[in-house]
Amino acid sequence: MANKNIALITGVTGQDGSYLSEFLLKKGYDVHGTIRRSSVDFRERIAHLEGLPNFHLHYVDMSDSMSIIQVLRKVRPTEIYNLAAQSHVQVSFDSPEYTADVDAVGVLRILEGVRQCGLEDTCRIYQASTSELYGKVEEVPQNENTPFHPYSPYAVAKLYGFWIVKEYREAYNMYCCSGILFNHESERRGETFVTRKISLAAARIKQGKQEKLYLGNLSSLRDWGYAKDYVECMWLILQQEKPEDFVIATGVQHSVRDFCYYAFKRVGIELEFTGEGIDEKGIDKATGRVLIEVSKDFYRPTDVVNLWGDPTKARAKLGWNPNTTGFQELVNLMVDHDMAKVAGEGAAEKVRMNLAEFLEKGIVK
């Protein structure tokens, strides 16, 4: 009987972890996901998978080697997808030490755990790396040979993760590699990332449940793809004969302002932008009402403003199509989802509404 594929996904409750679980379960894998203990139920993104015979959950914290080793010994995975991270760039300015522990040393804990459990010849490891490594960019668009210039505590931590993966590959001949993924979004994106903050606000403003949206740098440029398309690449990267790092991106760039424009357009509001920098405003062309304002609270001490990926290598070697879901289709998917979500929001959702108010006041970024 052929050996069964056993995947261990750290960070299974996250946006990517949930889509990757679905993808691997469809491929017949046994999927083991790691979760953190919490006093509240935070498993909304994977609730539909719980109870499936091939889906299993284990407690792991990336800051705790013992919990990592315990799960490695028990599960003996054939593939590890290390997605767990403190993934918010602004939060990394507020909690830099924690971010380094989880996003940098956490990667080392996985690699060394695999060695200590004697899995180095049988287990392949995918590391969730990021376009934030290019940071204060040294060329556009960015590819696998573009020099790194990390520009936040998050990016510096992720750079350690990238290099320690490369080191273990070369020093111990382990099959471990990094996917340098550009921003990818979805209906499951965390609500404090800019795209989801905008899609939710467009829905709430349209339905009269929010007055205004406050944002930071509207001119920031990103290469935004659809998370559901990107998890396939994580798997493809681990199916190559030799371990290699890959840039995963759409090759198309848009500004935060563009995202706002198309999100509000989807709900029937045409925006016009006037003013510059902190004075810029997004106005409803039909009514003259100011719907978007810029707030200093959402500016970062250092901001990455020009991310644009070149997916040539992924297209050629992985046979991956970077343009399965286009930018406007992605915006529409997110906004349509949030229009339905907001319409269904009742009294129990008041707490979520309060979060939106906090967001506006800059308490949660």
Active site residues: 130, 132, 154
Regarding 123 and contact with ligand G4F (CB under 6 A), the answer is: no
The answer to whether the beta carbons of residues 203 and 267 sit under 8 Å apart is: yes
61 is in the binding site of which of ligand NAP, ligand G4F, none (Cβ under 5 to 8 A by kind)?
ligand NAP
Residue closer to ligand G4F (CB basis): 175 or 262: 262
The answer to whether the beta carbons of residues 144 and 314 sit under 8 Å apart is: no
Closest residue to ligand NAP, Cβ-based? 14
Q: What is the 3-state secondary structure (H, E, C) of the chain?
A: CCCCCEEEEECCCCHHHHHHHHHHHHCCCEEEEEECCCCCCCCHHHCCCCCCCCEEEEECCCCCHHHHHHHHHHHCCCEEEECCCCCCHHHHHHCHHHHHHHHHHHHHHHHHHHHHCCCCCCCEEEEEEEHHHCCCCCCCCECCCCCCCCCCHHHHHHHHHHHHHHHHHHHHCCCEEEEEECCEECCCCCCCCHHHHHHHHHHHHHCCCCCCEEECCCCCEECCEEHHHHHHHHHHHHCCCCCCCEEECCCCCEEHHHHHHHHHHHCCCCEEEECCHHHCEEEECCCCCEEEEECHHHCCCCCCCECCECCHHHHHHHCCCCCCCCHHHHHHHHHHHHHHHHHCCCHHHHHHHHHHHHHHHCCCC
Smallest separation, CB 343 to ligand G4F (Å): 24
Site for ligand G4F in 279-298 (CB under 6 A): 298
Residue window 79-108: x/- pattern of binding to ligand G4F, with contact defined by CB under 6 A: --------x-xx------------------
17 is in the binding site of which of ligand NAP, ligand G4F, none (Cβ under 5 to 8 A by kind)?
ligand NAP
Residue closer to ligand NAP (CB basis): 272 or 329: 329
The answer to whether the beta carbons of residues 47 and 120 sit under 8 Å apart is: no
| Interface residue with ligand G4F, options 13, 18, 178, 220 (CB under 6 A) | 220
Site for ligand G4F in 302-341 (CB under 6 A): 303-304, 307
Tokens of 82: 């290390």
Q: Count of residues for the chain? A: 365
Q: Are strands 184-185 and 79-82 parallel, antiparallel or unpaired?
A: unpaired
Residue closer to ligand NAP (CB basis): 78 or 195: 195
Residue closer to ligand G4F (CB basis): 101 or 120: 101
Residue closer to ligand G4F (CB basis): 36 or 300: 300
15 is in the binding site of which of ligand NAP, ligand G4F, none (Cβ under 5 to 8 A by kind)?
ligand NAP
User: 348 to each of 27, 174, 217, how far by Cα in Å?
Assistant: 37, 49, 33
Which residues of the shown chain bind ligand NAP in the complex (CB under 6 A)?
Answer: 11, 13-17, 36, 42, 60-63, 83-87, 102, 128, 130, 181, 183-184, 190
16 is in the binding site of which of ligand G4F, ligand NAP, none (Cβ under 5 to 8 A by kind)?
ligand NAP
Smallest separation, CB 357 to ligand G4F (Å): 14
| Interface residue with ligand G4F, options 124, 197, 204, 254 (CB under 6 A) | 197
Smallest separation, CB 287 to ligand NAP (Å): 34
220 is in the binding site of which of ligand NAP, ligand G4F, none (Cβ under 5 to 8 A by kind)?
ligand G4F
- Residue 80, Cβ neighbours under 10 Å: how many? 26
Residue window 233-272: x/- pattern of binding to ligand G4F, with contact defined by CB under 6 A: -----------------------x----------------
DSSP bridge pairs for 138: none
Smallest separation, CB 327 to ligand G4F (Å): 14
197 is in the binding site of which of ligand G4F, ligand NAP, none (Cβ under 5 to 8 A by kind)?
ligand G4F
- What are the residues binding ligand G4F (CB under 6 A)? 87, 89-90, 130-132, 182-183, 192-194, 197, 215-217, 220, 222, 256, 298, 300, 303-304, 307, 365
